[in-house]
């Protein structure tokens, strides 16, 4: 009987030890599972961080390449502006020489005409001499007009050159420049203005758009023709809707000389 009781107690003790082992093993399995899940989560987070870092690196490289390209373009424009200015200045110098020669010829012709009239030349001779004087006057007027155009072109080129060289970050426009909005495209945010090269407008120049004395927007000139230009509304400067008839004035006027 005592032996049976001992056997039963041994069996109970074994069962209790087995249950305890199961509980311990289950706790260890749970801990291992939680640790595995945490490592998996950490790995996913690390992969996401790596992907984000890679994307930012690619974006930085792209921006750097774009900056290099913009710098190369700016240098090309600066060199082109320098060459164009040199050509325009040479042409202006040549034209000034031609203008001086024409003025001298005109003065000589007028002097000769006065001399001939004083000496009593025939009407036919005086008429011919008058024709010569008129022809010289037309030539001088044409040269003056061309000189005015070239002078304005030289001023434009000097302004652009200063912009590309970095000595002046703003394109300066004539202080008395004023125009109106002719056409508005609200979809693409561009406008057509009734001022152009003849009035002193320069590409990349900035203009303020106003209505009844209140600022509406700021635009930057993208293309210039003889008597009109096209400009884009600058981001962040559209304070209200731009409409036809709005007034435009220089954002950066030339200082008075």
Tell me which residue has tokens 């311990």. Answer: 24
Residue in 176, 227, 163, 222 with CA at minimum distance from that of residue 197: 227
Task: Tell me, yes or no, whether 86 lies in a domain.
Answer: yes
Predicted confidence band of residue 239 (pLDDT cuts 50, 70, 90):
very high
Residue bearing the bigger pLDDT, 74 or 146: 74
Q: Give the chain's domain count.
A: 2
Distance in Å from the first CA to the final CA of the chain: 129
Of 127-141, 150-164, 211-225, the poorest mean pLDDT is in: 150-164
CATH of the domain at 206: 2.40.10
> Is the Cα torsion angle 11, 17, 23, 25 positive or negative in sign?
negative
The CA-based angle 195-205-81, given to 5 degrees, is 110
Q: Given a cut of 70, is residue 15 above it in pLDDT? A: no
Question: How far apart are the C-alpha atoms of 160 and 188, rounded to whole Å?
Answer: 26
> Is the Cα torsion angle 150, 156, 160, 163 positive or negative in sign?
positive
Question: How far apart are the C-alpha atoms of 121 and 129, rounded to whole Å?
Answer: 10
Residue bearing the bigger pLDDT, 206 or 170: 206
Residue bearing the bigger pLDDT, 122 or 227: 227
Q: pLDDT, tens digit, for every residue of 165-204?
A: 554 567 889 999 999 999 999 999 999 999 999 999 998 8
Confidence (pLDDT) at 208? 97
Tell me which residue has tokens 């203008």. Answer: 99
145 and 183 assigned to the same domain: no
Residue that is last in its domain, among 165, 190, 205: 165
Residue that is last in its domain, among 117, 140, 165: 165
With a CB cutoff of 8 Å and minimum separation 6, the contacts of 227 are 194, 195, 196, 197, 198, 199
Averaged confidence pLDDT in the chain = 79
Question: How far apart are the C-alpha atoms of 238 and 174, rounded to whole Å?
Answer: 23
Residue in 207, 210, 214, 194 with CA at minimum distance from that of residue 242: 210
Confidence (pLDDT) at 177? 95
- Beta bridge partners, 220, equal 206, 232
Q: Could you tell me the residue range of the domain that residue 232 belongs to?
A: 179-250
Residue in 172, 178, 140, 139 with CA at minimum distance from that of residue 156: 172
Task: Tell me, yes or no, whether 207 lies in a domain.
Answer: yes
- Beta bridge partners, 230, equal 192, 223
Question: How far apart are the C-alpha atoms of 89 and 48, rounded to whole Å?
Answer: 60
Section 107-114 average pLDDT: 77
H or E element, residue 182: strand 179-185
Predicted confidence band of residue 137 (pLDDT cuts 50, 70, 90):
confident
Section 122-147 average pLDDT: 67
Q: pLDDT, tens digit, for every residue of 28-76?
A: 777 777 777 788 877 788 788 777 877 777 887 777 788 788 778 877 8
Question: How far apart are the C-alpha atoms of 108 and 91, rounded to whole Å?
Answer: 25
215 and 142 assigned to the same domain: no
84 and 160 assigned to the same domain: yes
Task: Tell me, yes or no, whether 87 lies in a domain.
Answer: yes
Residue that is last in its domain, among 130, 165, 200: 165
Between the CA of residue 148 and those of 95, 136, 151, 182, what are the distances in Å? 10, 18, 5, 27
Confidence (pLDDT) at 213? 92
């Amino acid at each position: 009987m005592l032996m049976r009781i001992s056997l039963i107690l041994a069996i109970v003790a074994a069962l209790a030890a087995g249950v305890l082992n199961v509980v311990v093993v289950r706790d260890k399995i749970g801990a291992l599972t939680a640790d595995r899940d945490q490592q998996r989560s950490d790995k996913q987070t690390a992969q996401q961080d790596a992907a984000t870092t890679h994307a930012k690196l690619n974006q930085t490289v792209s921006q750097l390449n774009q900056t290099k390209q913009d710098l190369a373009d700016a240098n090309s424009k600066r060199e082109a502006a320098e060459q164009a200015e040199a050509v325009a200045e040479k042409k202006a110098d040549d034209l000034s020489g031609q203008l001086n020669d024409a003025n001298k010829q005109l003065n000589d012709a007028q002097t000769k005409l006065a001399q001939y009239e004083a000496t009593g030349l025939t009407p036919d001779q005086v008429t011919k001499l008058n024709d010569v004087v008129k022809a010289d006057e037309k030539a001088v007027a044409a040269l003056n007009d061309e000189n005015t155009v070239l002078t304005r072109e030289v001023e434009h080129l000097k302004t652009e050159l200063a912009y590309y060289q970095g000595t002046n970050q703003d394109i300066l426009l004539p202080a008395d420049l004023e125009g109106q909005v002719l056409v508005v495209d609200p979809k693409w945010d561009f406008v057509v203005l009734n001022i152009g090269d003849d009035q002193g407008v320069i590409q990349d120049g900035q203009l303020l758009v106003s209505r009844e004395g209140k600022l509406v927007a700021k635009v930057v000139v993208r293309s210039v023709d003889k008597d009109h230009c096209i400009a884009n509304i600058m981001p962040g400067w559209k304070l209200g809707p731009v409409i036809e008839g709005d007034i435009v004035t220089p954002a950066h006027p030339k200082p008075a000389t």
